[in-house]
Amino acid sequence: MSDGMGGGRPGPAALIFDVDGTLAETEELHRAAFNAAFAAHGLGWHWDRPTYGALLAVTGGKERIRAYRDRHAFALPRETDIAGLHADKTHRYGRMVAEGALCARPGVLSLVAEARGHGLRLAVATTTSPDNVEALCRALWQRPAGEVFDVIAAGDEVGAKKPAPDVYLLALARLGIACEAALAFEDSAVGLASARAAGLKVVACPSLYMSGDDFAGAWWLTPSLDGAWRHIAASF
């Protein structure tokens, strides 16, 4: 990128976004979808806010189900497996999003629009599924995910999920740029560690569930992305 930021100074060539908690406060919707799926499968499980908050330390929906099952030595019914249970949860979450139960976090829509207007490429690096990314983009932008983001690195495409750097490295490889040319956006300490391990500068914007995380090492820690483009343009 020659000068996307003005003033004769090179800026980032791309912005890479986490999804859940970063683009939108999605976790309460995910929790509701998990509980609805558990009830539909007759499990008798219910994740209250403290339980779900603790489980967010485990990245990935299937991994959270497995961790909860193993932690409590629960047995799943013979006809229910983790992948099937998670697929049901994902379907329910997508339906909730489509029904209008989600909105962008402050500043997200304007930041994406301004970055695109200045010629930056946009990517997603997330542990959630591609279906969830698609549902969110259609809810927030009324467009398919592939029309909002140039690259989507999501779900089970990598061997190790966050805090491993794999999904960010995949996003960078698909963008075809070095880590120094991109800026990552995260809402959690786990995500921050993942992006940092991939060599990226990170904007940390804590979500509701992650407000108590330690964000040491973030390039910029901010409670909101309102006006974020001005800060990036002045400081990157």
Locate the DSSP E strands across the chain.
14-17, 121-125, 151-153, 182-186, 201-204, 220-221
Active-site residue (options: 3, 20, 48, 213): 20
Q: Are strands 121-125 and 182-186 parallel, antiparallel or unpaired?
A: unpaired
144 upstream amide cis, omega within 30 of 0: no
* Rounded-to-integer distance, Cα 46 and Cα 35, Å: 6
From 212, 201, 205, 195, select the one nearest 228 (Cα to Cα): 205
> Edge to edge, what strands does the sheet with 14-17 contain?
151-153, 121-125, 14-17, 182-186, 201-204, 220-221
Active-site residue (options: 18, 88, 166, 213): 18
Contact 200, 185 (CB under 8 A): no
Q: Would you mind telling me the total number of residues written for the chain in this entry?
A: 236
Q: Is 166 a catalytic residue?
A: no
Q: Is 18 a catalytic residue?
A: yes
Residue 119 in tokens: 């010629």
Residue 235 in tokens: 């400081």
Q: Are strands 14-17 and 201-204 parallel, antiparallel or unpaired?
A: unpaired
Supply the residues annotated as catalytic.
18, 20
